[in-house]
């Protein structure tokens, strides 16, 4: 059974192969174009409000000595992806690496020597074909989970994410074949830490807030990001992020909203530009009198603030800049769990309902 997302991948792979073949038939050296993924080719697209790559492309040609190996590797992965999709098998990056590692006929050379090579080729292929690896049945790491009143279907199984125990449904690396059957919620709440996620599940926030509680356990992996993107797209529920009040937490939010630089070529698939940020903010410290549970910023965190201040997509939001500057000035950070200082249910009964009700968000 081939899903819709995979169908697109198959079509793209097919086109990719035929395009090469066409050149061959014209007795030209086969080549293809890869949108450049170098940092200098990454920019913030203010219209789409995502981090994107510019139009710059580089050509990878069979007859270029410094390209030919990668050319071979790209075809190797393209061929394998087609096979994975057709056989309905999903592999991890590491599996793909081992699966396709072998000696080139008649030589001592390997198709690749380490998984940096295979990873780079997967990224290239994503950029070239304009699809994500999951569509080629190469899954990302599975980490993170969702809890709430939503019924999903995968591989023929239908399940409610409220009836899978306290942990909810573990979001797999590949969510392309996940179908949203039904849901009963007002918003999607992305929670940075797993501990806070558990707390909110235990406190029944999914009911109180009518929220789908999603955690990525730190920086959200591709699976979670893709799932959030699909969820938001298909339900049109607001996505609200709840992270630690530090430069890392805020960066995690920025990735959720505008995408990451590493995945600039596929941010369309991941970024949710209309998401909002509920906290923690520097103002929360004063408002909820959390001064005694802040922690001092260390050198690294200060550097991270400076980095954040320099990103175009941070500058795009004066509020973000203001927040970072406040943080810098205060010299402290505040964790989500510091709210437990008030009481364990403070976050669920007071903090979140208040802020969400009053729409105290950062853009």
Question: Contacting another protein (CB under 8 A), which of 47, 55, 87, 107?
Answer: 107
Looking at residue 165, the DSSP 8-state letter turns out to be -
Q: How many CB atoms lie within 10 A of CB 219?
A: 16
Query: What is the smallest separation between the CB atom of 249 and another protein, expressed in angstroms?
Result: 43
Binding of residue 325 to another protein (CB under 8 A) = no
> Which candidate, 200, 268, 208, 211, places its Cα nearest to that of 235?
211
Which residues 6+ apart lie within 8 Å of 267 measured at CB? 50, 51, 52, 258, 259, 260
Please work out the total of residues on this chain that contact another protein, with binding judged by CB under 8 A.
32
CB 320 within 8 Å of CB 250: yes
Task: Kindly compute the dihedral angle of the four CA atoms of residues 112, 116, 117, 120, in this order, to the nearest 10 degrees.
Answer: 160
Distance CA 332, CA 208 (A): 31
Instruction: Pick out residues in 76-95 that bind another protein (CB under 8 A).
Output: 76, 78-79, 82-83
Query: Which member of 97, 98, 183, 288 is catalytic?
Result: 98
Query: What is the smallest separation between the CB atom of 67 and another protein, expressed in angstroms?
Result: 10
- The C-alpha angle 37, 42, 46, rounded to 5 degrees, equals 145
- Applying CB under 8 A, the span of 44-52, 100-108, 210-218, 290-298 interacting with another protein comes to 100-108
CB 51 within 8 Å of CB 313: yes
Binding of residue 71 to another protein (CB under 8 A) = yes
Query: What is the smallest separation between the CB atom of 63 and another protein, expressed in angstroms?
Result: 5
Binding of residue 120 to another protein (CB under 8 A) = no
Q: Is 206 a catalytic residue?
A: no
The two tokens of residue 146 are 């969702």
Question: What is the total residue count of the chain?
Answer: 363
Site string for another protein, 133-172 (x = CB under 8 A): ----------------------------------------
Question: Contacting another protein (CB under 8 A), which of 14, 286, 295, 354?
Answer: 14
Which residues 6+ apart lie within 8 Å of 69 measured at CB? none
Question: Contacting another protein (CB under 8 A), which of 7, 38, 104, 233?
Answer: 104
- Applying CB under 8 A, the span of 57-65, 211-219, 274-282, 309-317 interacting with another protein comes to 57-65
φ, ψ at 95 (rounded to 5°):
-65, -40
Q: What residues line the site for another protein (CB under 8 A)?
A: 13-14, 16-18, 20-21, 24-25, 27-30, 62-63, 65, 68-69, 71-72, 75-76, 78-79, 82-83, 104-107, 109, 111
**Residues labelled catalytic:** 98
């Amino acid at each position: 059974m081939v899903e819709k997302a995979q169908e697109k991948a198959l079509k793209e792979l097919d086109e990719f192969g035929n395009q090469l073949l066409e050149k061959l038939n014209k007795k030209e050296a086969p080549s293809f174009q890869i949108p450049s993924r170098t940092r200098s080719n990454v920019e913030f697209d203010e219209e789409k409000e995502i981090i994107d790559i510019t139009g710059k492309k580089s050509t990878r040609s069979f007859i270029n000595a410094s390209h030919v190996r990668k050319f071979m590797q790209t075809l190797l992965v393209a061929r394998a992806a087609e096979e994975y999709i057709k056989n309905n098998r999903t592999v991890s990056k590491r599996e793909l690496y081992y699966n396709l590692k072998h000696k080139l006929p008649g030589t001592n050379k390997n198709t690749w020597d380490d998984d940096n090579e295979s990873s780079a080729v997967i990224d290239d292929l994503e950029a070239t074909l304009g699809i994500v690896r999951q569509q080629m049945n190469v899954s990302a790491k599975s980490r993170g989970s969702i809890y709430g009143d939503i019924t999903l279907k995968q591989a023929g199984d239908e399940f409610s994410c409220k009836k899978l125990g306290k942990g909810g449904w573990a979001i797999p690396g590949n969510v392309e074949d996940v179908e949203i059957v039904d849901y009963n919620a007002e918003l999607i709440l992305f929670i940075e830490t797993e501990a806070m996620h558990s707390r909110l599940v235990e406190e029944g926030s999914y009911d109180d807030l009518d929220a789908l509680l999603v955690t990525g356990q730190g920086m959200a992996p591709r699976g979670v990001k893709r799932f959030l993107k699909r969820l938001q797209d298909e339900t049109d529920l607001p996505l609200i992020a709840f992270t630690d009040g530090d430069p890392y937490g805020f960066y995690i939010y920025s990735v959720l909203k505008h995408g990451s630089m590493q995945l600039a070529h596929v941010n369309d698939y991941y970024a949710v530009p209309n998401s909002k940020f509920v906290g923690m903010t520097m103002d929360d410290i004063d408002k909820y009198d959390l001064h005694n549970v802040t922690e001092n910023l260390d050198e690294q965190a200060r550097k991270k603030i400076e980095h954040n201040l320099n990103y175009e997509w941070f500058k795009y939001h004066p509020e973000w800049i203001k927040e970072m500057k406040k943080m810098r000035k205060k010299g402290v950070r505040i964790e989500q769990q510091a709210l437990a200082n008030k009481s364990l249910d403070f976050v669920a009964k007071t903090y979140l309902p208040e802020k969400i009700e009053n729409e105290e968000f950062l853009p």
